Structure 1
Amino acid sequence: MQYNTGSHCVFYHRYHLVWSNKDRFKVLKDQVLLRVRDICRQVCHENEIDILRGVLSSDHVHMFVSVPPKLAISDLVRKMKGRSSHKVQREFPELRRRYWSRRFWGRGHFSTTNGAITEDIVLQYLEQHIADPTGASR
């Protein structure tokens, strides 16, 4: 496990993110898929996010990323979905005419954290912390 550092913190934040396009149409193919991938990479680079793994299917996106604590996950997904939707609809007008009127991506997203410390370990640590004989907290 390798920790990342910020100006005033050390962190290990890994997130699995998933979102799909509107109505799950299978439109992420060929040039559209490559363009969405490039836009997501660009947004991550601008926000100092490491993409650990990413997979684009024909109707949804999976990303496993390391995100600094200064950025909310919802803001990251909003930036990637918003920029990619705007640019893809502008660069591929046939998608807009054929499948939908305004939205490229569906509403919402899925996210989950991943880390080396499980919930049981945290609960065990807190139990031991409370039982500290000196009564002093750290």
Structure 2
Amino acid sequence: MPGTYSQIYIHIVFAVKGRENLLNKNLREEIFRYISGVIKEKGHKPIIVNGYSDHVHCFVGLKPSVAISDLVRDIKNNSSKFINEKKYLRGKFNWQEGYGVFSYSHSQIKKVYDYILNQEIHHKKKSFKEEYLELLRKFEIEFKPEYLFEWIE
């Protein structure tokens, strides 16, 4: 019986509700490790999960059996529940609605990995808003500014 084989690499980006800087450096490693576990538990390959104080980047080897929207929903729901149960922050933690997702070829894995790995350095020069708009333009994704993340200026 023939099998199903795939090679799908996606880069998911999502932000903290209100774009607050809630993911402090001390918490990030554990939260990102937890998110990697959610991705793996859902049958996908977490290549790297990293981000900065107000947003997350997940680079994933995606199995074609699950809709991307379902994976992102599960990542956000499970990780916000984890953060709230651990009481890492005062008040209730939530992710913003929406996300960006971008596809890459196998030959781009190292480049994307390094880009996500170096988020802290990257954001010393460029804001999340600049980064996100650059991704949307690079991938020629049409958007309405009023439907993007809440930006803190």
Q: Same fold (TM over 0.5)?
A: yes
Query: 1:76 is matched with which residue: 71, 81, 85?
Result: 71
Q: Provide closer, same or farther for how the CA distance between residues 81 and 19 of structure 1 changes in structure 2, counting only shifts above 3 A.
A: same
Separation (CA, whole Å) in 1 of partners of 2:26 and 2:70: 26
The Cα offsets for residues 57-116 of structure 1, whole Å up to 9 and x where unpaired, read as: 1100011111100011111111110011112112126431xxxxx551001111011226
CA deviations on 1:7-40 (whole Å, 9 max, x unpaired) are 8211110101000000111111144313321221
Q: Which residue of 2 aligns with 1:58?
A: 53
Larger Rg computed on CA atoms: 1
The alignment partner of 1:11 has SS state of coil
Mean Cα deviation higher: 33-42 or 57-66:
33-42
Q: Is the 8 A contact 1:20 1:105 kept in 2?
A: yes
- The two structures have a TM-score, normalised by structure 2, of 0.62
Aligned in 2, Cα 1:94/1:51: closer, same or farther, shift over 3 Å? closer
* RMSD value, Cα: 2.1
The structure 1 residue matched to 2:35, chosen from 40, 45, 49, is 40
Aligned residues: 106
The percent of aligned pairs where both chains have the same amino acid is 26
Could you state the TM-score of these two structures normalised by the residue count of structure 1? 0.68
Mark the CA change 1:67 to 1:111 in structure 2 (over 3 Å): closer, same or farther.
Answer: same
Unaligned regions of 5+ residues in structure 1, if any?
1-6, 97-101, 117-138
List 4+ stretches of structure 1 deviating above 6 A: none
Matches within 5 A, 1:49-128: 49-92=44-87, 94-96=89-91, 102=92, 104-115=94-105
> Given residue 87 of structure 1, which amino acid in structure 2 is its aligned partner?
F
Q: What are the Cα deviations for residues 41-69 of structure 1, in whole angstroms up to 9, with x where unaligned?
A: 11112122112233221100011111100
2:10 is equivalent to residue 15 of structure 1:
yes
